[in-house]
Chains A and B, each alone.
Chain A
């Protein structure tokens, strides 16, 4: 079974629209970390956020915000007022205490196309 599921394969929006990228994870651990990475067309993965399982506070960073809900095992990512430069593949990832946080499980990614 997939440990991290990103059900949205590809999303297209028009600039200035808000968009939410879904991430659902599966773990038996009570201690784990969740991550979001951005992979622009250039290919290099860029770290966006890390969240541990004990911190359910939502986080906002500029136009980016993250909604962590343990009750639904989700860690969704919202981009407000999207821009063309946001076009990329976004990956959600999980690491668990069970593996001493040494293994990362990545979702299959969501490709975001922001059109002008």
Chain B
């Protein structure tokens, strides 16, 4: 079956421009997660959605970052006024949700963002 997809796979932008990164989760997965992975580093949790709501936005690095999810499916991560330190791979993951338990997250291939 189809896995998590992300687009674009690569994005090069100039400092100060806005970018939108898209994630299509696995069908039926109600939970969706965004992570950032800087070069040679681990994964930094950014935000998660349960359905269309994001109860915890504390992981977003600054107010230039925002995310939304519509229809309980596609999610968009927007970075405004990009800075060079935003350069990283942005990973999306999705999972089913079962109350009081943790289902496995399945990751997309990521979007490599390079801010010049």
Contact = CB atoms under 8 A, between A and B. Distances in A.
Contacts of A91: 42-43
Contact of A108 (B41, B48, B93, B106): B41
Contact of B43 (A43, A46, A106): A106
Size bin of chain A's contact surface:
20 to 34
Interface residues of B, number: 25
Residue picked from B31, B59, B102, B107, most chain A C-beta under 10 Å: B102
Contacts of B107: 37, 44-47
A64 interface: no
Given A43-B109, A91-B43, A35 B104 contact: yes
A109 B43 CA distance: 9
A33 B101 CA distance: 9
Nearest to A97: B100
A103 B42 contact: no
Contacts of B42: 91, 106-109
Nearest to B109: A44
Given A47-B105, A50-B102, A95-B102, A102 B31 contact: yes
Contacts of A44: 107-110
Interface string B51-72: 0000110010000000000000
Nearest to B108: A44
Interface string A27-70: 00000010101000011111100101000000000000000000
18 contacts: A33-B102, A37-B107, A42-B109, A43-B109, A44-B109, A45-B93, A46-B107, A50-B102, A91-B43, A99-B56, A102-B31, A102-B48, A102-B56, A103-B59, A104-B35, A106-B45, A107-B42, A108-B42
